[in-house]
Amino acid sequence: MESLLDKLETIDLAQDVRLFVNVYAKTFEQKERMCLWLERFYRMFPHTTCVFEILEHHLGNVELAAWTDLKREFPLIELAQDDFGIGEQDLIRFLEVKPDWLKLDSSWMTTLSRHPESVSLLQAIVDWAGAEGIKLIAEGIETSEQSYFYSSIGIEYEQGYFWSVPQREAVLSAIP
């Protein structure tokens, strides 16, 4: 995480964006270290939302008291569950953590093509997330048809090669 901050110091990153950072759930147990990191981050980017993205099978291990304390001190931070839908996270633990974001695993697209009846399950997840104020990101979007499908069922955010290939840091400042 320190090397990320060192790199960010060299980039003219837009201020009012969300920056997604992959971390392990155990990272939040080191409250003093996290506070120092966030203090440095917010000195550089005071209006940027930092979203900590945790793999699905690690989300249930988030220390809720530590997360709550960090959220109180740094209100612009958010939590995202990565790879939602691959079956490693039970819903009870998920409800306890209740992240701000769910990143739908790219395997949903394969499942939807093999099992058309799964559209109703995905639509139920979209409806439930909306009612709970949880934002959804569809991962693995590679075609305009996939993008159209996800937007037609109410998913506003997408990630994948259809939108952009991975970028070198030199062009990050040009991304709105």
Domain containing residue 22: CATH number: 3.20.20.450
Number of structural domains in the chain: 1
- 134-156 confidence digits (pLDDT tens): 999 999 999 999 999 999 999 99
Phi, psi torsion values for 98, nearest 5 degrees: 45, 80
The string of DSSP letters for 51-74 reads: EEEEEHHHHTT--HHHHHHHHHH-
- Nearest CA-CA partner of 27 in 57, 65, 60, 67: 67
Containing structural domain, residue 24? 2-174
pLDDT given for residue 176 in this prediction: 47
The list of the chain residues with pLDDT below 70 reads: 56-61, 87-94, 168-176
- 116-137 confidence digits (pLDDT tens): 888 999 999 999 999 999 999 9
pTM: predicted TM-score of the whole model, two decimal places: 0.85
